[in-house]
Amino acid sequence: MTLNTTPNIAGADDFYAELLALHEGRSKAESDAINARLILLLANHIGDRLVLSDAMQKAVSAGRG
């Protein structure tokens, strides 16, 4: 399996709004903890270590722009 970086979420704007709403009214620490749990849940769902490593490397690279 390779990392899919092509937009692939049905209703992407709705998903983004839901993600933002998830953090409304929460402290930075609470939001960080939610994000960490969400990442671990999705990583477990993906399950492929090579894909996960590729995603981590791309996330770091994207932040350097």
The whole-model pTM stands at 0.86
Please compute the mean of the pLDDT values over residues 22-38 and round it to a whole number.
98
Collect all residues with Cβ–Cβ distance below 8 Å to 22 and sequence separation of at least 6: 34
Question: What per-residue confidence (pLDDT) applies to 63?
Answer: 82
Structure tokens, 37: 């749990």
Q: Report the sign of the C-alpha dihedral through residues 37, 50, 4, 65, in that order.
A: positive
pLDDT interval class at 64 (50, 70, 90): confident
Instruction: Kindly state the percentage of the chain with pLDDT values over 70.
Output: 98
> Mind listing the pLDDT tens digit for each residue in 40-60?
999 999 999 999 999 999 999
- Give the residue extent of every domain in the chain: 26-65
